[in-house]
Amino acid sequence: MNDIDFDRYDRIRPIRWTGDALELLDQRRLPFHVEYVRCQDSDAVAAAIHALTVRGAPAIGIAAAWGVVLAARDIQADDGAGALAALEPALQRLNAARPTAVNLAWALARMRRSLGGAGADWRERLAREAQAIADEDLAANRRMGALGAALIVPGSGVLTHCNTGSLATAGFGTALGVIRAGVAQGRIEQVYAGETRPWLQGARLTVWELQQDGIAPILIADSAAAHLMKSGRVQWVVVGADRICANGDTANKIGTYQLAIAARHHGVKFMVAAPSSTVDMATASGEAIEIEERDPGELFAVGGVRTAAEQVGAWNPVFDVTPHELIDAIVTERGVIERPDAQAMRAAFGA
């Protein structure tokens, strides 16, 4: 990791705790407007998570943790047990904001546990735990970036999907962290980014992020991915995950599954990079994952301009599940799992 210049490749922070409020970089406004939304209570944080003001599984978890800190200000309790009971409605509202990303429930569970045995200092414990969640995520991203980049042969082209960078995490990114590390080490020659309809996270966010670091990506239409693979220009697809199951199945942004199928057909390697907090050993396989569906109306327009006829139907799942058989490597800060399956996952993460 010593050959990675983090000051150059880690400049963006989407979540800022000021001590009295949570400021979230409004990712709906990027790339043309860099604005922060100020949240002064937990319900504002929950609304920001639901509205995609903040997005990306790790970032959602971090934001929710700070949302608990904000909720604590309205609670009167003598100790952690009393605080937990009083905080439970706010915790439930935060948890309901986005159901698919396991990091949200994971972060809220950590905040609950931090109150165990707490006395009058329970508010300070919550604040320390929220900061620890953010700090650990940044360290994990830098570690997995180095581990994932080591799998990539120098001179390679890579394709990524959605946005998995600093905007989706505490900093550096998951899949985009692998890409940043690979560029810094001279392993990645060219980065391709799929646009990622319908919210265009690739077009609006990923290419903007890479530009901030002096990396020149090439944007492609989602539907051009298989043709790109056939051309021989990419050797790896590198994506993130919102949930990794006990058998190695992964849930990620809609469109990931078809990339994995196309990659296998064309002999392109497929890597999933995500922190260990994304691993859900309690969910046996992708069949058990609740797939969030959003307003079908999101498909009817691009940039606020309607492109579909009136009175048409639409189906708008936000995620899909990639079977573990199509994944060459899962990379977390704990290490690399090649050809993941239930046995390999148990060896890495326990039962």
CA–CA separation, 272 and 244 (whole Å): 9
Is residue 242 among the annotated active site residues? yes
Residues 6+ apart with CB under 8 A from 179: 158, 160, 173, 188, 191, 210, 215, 238
DSSP states of 260-323 as a string? HHHHHHHT-EEEEE--GGGEETTS-SGGG----B--GGGGSEETTEE-S-SS-----B-EEEE-
Which of 242, 249, 280, 328 is catalytic? The answer is 242
Identify the residue whose tokens are 């606020």.
Answer: 304
Whether omega before 198 lies within 30 degrees of 0, making that bond cis, reads: yes
Return the structure tokens found at 317.
């799942």
Residues 6+ apart with CB under 8 A from 19: none
How far is CA 216 from its chain centroid?
22
Helix 122-149, helix 80-95: angle, nearest 10: 50
> Which active-site residues does the annotation give?
242
